[in-house]
Amino acid sequence: MLQAIGLTSNPRRDLPPAVDDLTFEARSGSVTALLGAPGAGKTTALRLMLELEPGRGVTYFRGRPLHRIVHPAREIGMLLGDVPGHPARSVKGQLRMLCAAAGVPASRADELLDVVGLGGLRDERLGSLSLGMDRRLGLASALLGDPHTLLLDAPSADLSPRENSWLFGLLRAHADHGGTVLYTTQDAKEAARTADHVVTIDEGRLVADQDVVAFARTRLRPRVAVRTPHAARLADALSREARAGRRSVEVVSEPGVGSLLTVYGSSCPEIGETAFRNGVLVHQLADEVGDTGPAPVSAPVPAPAPAYDHPAYDHSAYDPDYAYGCEDGPSPHHDRGPLPAPLSSGPVRSPLRPLRYELRRMFGIRTTALIAVAVLVASVALAVPLARTGRTPLSGLLAAWPAILPLPPAALGAGLLGAYSFGDEFRYPALAGARGTVPRRLGLLLAKLVVTAAAALALAFLAVAADAGALRLVYGADAVPVPGNWLALSAGWAGLTVGCAWAGLLGAGVFRVTAAGVTAVVAVPTLVVPLIQRALAGPSTRSVAGLPGRLRELAWLDWPRQADHWLMATFRLVAQPVAAALTLSLSALLCAYLLTGLRRRARW
């Protein structure tokens, strides 16, 4: 059961709150519709329930608020708008990435794709999906954790009747298995047709809280649809007889459809008798209560279903009537679709697998590979002409770092990968709709740091290998001798690339955009390094000689004497202007991230 108590959004400027003291229940084993006109506060109410919107009030999911639920993905599944994923990511890759975020096995993705009828489209890109397929993928994402409660914001908007039939069949099956379903809609007829309980709101306030029978009886006006080639004559006759009998009858001519009348306050027998007495030919006469008859439309609207023509599309799963050869539209006996098998009820080690999630996020699209290829090509293109002049030291040749560039291509590429790590997260927020599945953002930050560091090291190694190979090929084996201080150079090179990757990552994490991460990387050599050099330009009157011995005395540790050499080498490396600038920048960005990110309620 879902219990929303006193939900009130924070008012903006001088406007009243979008949701004002809203209280209602959505029972287990039933489908509840949250009905309201556009702007009534339906979406804001859902976001308040999910703690995505600032405000007051509390929502209990089977007696527990969201922040007290240990594994939110196992309790709540949500669909707020379209699938928030990178358009270049595959359908299967998107679901497998979310499986890692929700802490469920990756096999769950394949199982749900078959359930929602997308098994044959698992390799399709998100950007190529039609509206119906996107909505099905969104439902699969909501069902990943086998949740008890489903929260959906206008799930049937702009869908065809067949897609609606499948959608509400799946929701009905979830409710029949004991789950709670709450969805928003602005269509009263849809609510009467598909829900067990209807909660009506207007301007953020509760208007009515009724079961569907009472709702259809009190909130919907019964009517009769009449099709006749003599609509004006019949309308005049009905109005004339209603006045004579002192009955309240309203006759409405539907705009754009001259042969269609909608009659309120009468019945099929009365209208048929009136038409017979006045000699009016009638083509159709049907009662409409809720949505038991065809809804009048001003013009035929084709159903947006490009998926029907896809050779890999599973028609039997997408269309509940396809396997039965029905030609008269969806049948209510076939609406209830299958549900995925429930997950094991045993304890889960963690509600989130951040390292697995980050790996699938980074390598699920071609951006990482394209950046790596561009870095290698640029690095080789710079290293070969630099070696021709003979004025560039070997370390600069292998890194392809001319003096005119602030950073070598590998470091810039590592910074770009780091910036994308958080930049794509905010641009295509795959975790936005599943905020509850990320209870510890610090774990995700550590995973991103580890993965970007590994990617930066791999990129640095490949760039040096490609540059060395190109120089040996063009100028011979003597062009690239092994330097005596290769270990120190390697450590400095690794530190530079990893530092740039982390600077890009933290910059994008603080400012929530990829460009900010790239700016943070470029600012280190162009702004911070000159400041460090100016600060250290004065004469030195102090020496750090003997630092390892003093540290040994302070820590009461007796480490090997050989470690003193490595400790001093590390200190000298960090004391270099670029290294010091990176260390200072990373420290400032990390503090800013902790202050602005971890204290703020996550929206992804």
State which amino acid sits at residue 62: R
Question: Above pLDDT 90, what percent of the chain?
Answer: 46
pLDDT value for 599: 52
pLDDT value for 54: 86
Average pLDDT over all residues of the chain: 81
Instruction: Give the integer Cα–Cα distance in Å for 476 and 421.
Output: 39
Average pLDDT of the residues in 73-101 = 88
Query: Which is higher by pLDDT, 299 or 564?
Result: 564
CA 472 to chain centre: 48
**Does 527 score more than 60 pLDDT?**
yes
Instruction: Give the integer Cα–Cα distance in Å for 184 and 151.
Output: 9
Main-chain phi, psi angles of 140, to 5 degrees = -60, -40
State which amino acid sits at residue 552: R
Instruction: Give the integer Cα–Cα distance in Å for 542 and 146.
Output: 64
Which helix (H) or strand (E) segment holds residue 98: the answer is helix 91-102
CA angle 330, 334, 335 (to 5 degrees): 75
Residue 491 — left, alpha, or beta (φ > 0 → left; ψ -120 to 50 → alpha)? alpha
In order of their start, the domains of the chain are: 2-218 (3.40.50.300), 223-288 (3.30.70), 354-598 (no CATH)
What ranges in 539-598 are assigned the alpha helix state H? 547-555, 562-575, 577-593
pLDDT value for 532: 67
How sure is the predictor about 480, in pLDDT bands with cuts at 50, 70 and 90? confident
pLDDT value for 585: 86
| DSSP letter for each residue of 173-198 | HHHHTT-EEEEEES-HHHHHHH-SEE
Express each pLDDT in 488-525 by its tens digit.
Answer: 788 888 989 999 999 999 999 888 889 999 999 999 88
Average pLDDT of the residues in 84-98 = 90
CA angle 587, 590, 594 (to 5 degrees): 140
pLDDT value for 301: 31
Query: Which is higher by pLDDT, 550 or 378?
Result: 378
How sure is the predictor about 363, in pLDDT bands with cuts at 50, 70 and 90? very high
Highest mean pLDDT among 26-35, 97-106, 333-342, 534-543: 26-35
* Letter string b/e over residues 92-111, b meaning 16 or more CB atoms within 10 A of that residue's CB: bbbbbbbbbbbbbeeebbbb
pLDDT value for 297: 32
pLDDT value for 350: 37
Q: Say how many Å lie between the first and final Cα of the chain, rounded.
A: 25
C-alpha distances (whole Å) from 164 to each of 289, 292, 481, 524 are 19, 15, 69, 54
Which helix (H) or strand (E) segment holds residue 340: the answer is none
Express each pLDDT in 367-381 by its tens digit.
Answer: 999 999 999 999 999
Q: Which of 133, 92, 72 minimizes the C-alpha distance to 431? A: 72
For 38-42, 92-96, 303-307, 535-539, which range has the lowest pLDDT when averaged over its residues? Answer: 303-307
Q: At what angle do helices 354-363 and 441-475 cross, to 10 degrees?
A: 40
Express each pLDDT in 431-452 by its tens digit.
Answer: 654 443 333 467 888 999 999 9
Half-sphere exposure at residue 1, Cβ-oriented, CA atoms within 13 angstroms: 7
CA 138 to chain centre: 9
Q: Which two structure tokens, joined as six digits, stand for 195?
A: 């829900």
How sure is the predictor about 559, in pLDDT bands with cuts at 50, 70 and 90? low
**Does 584 score more than 90 pLDDT?**
no
Query: Which is higher by pLDDT, 421 or 596?
Result: 421
Q: Which two structure tokens, joined as six digits, stand for 556?
A: 């009461």
For 244-258, 362-376, 403-417, 532-546, which range has the lowest pLDDT when averaged over its residues? Answer: 532-546
For 296-300, 417-421, 554-558, which range has the lowest pLDDT when averaged over its residues? Answer: 296-300
Average pLDDT of the residues in 337-344 = 59
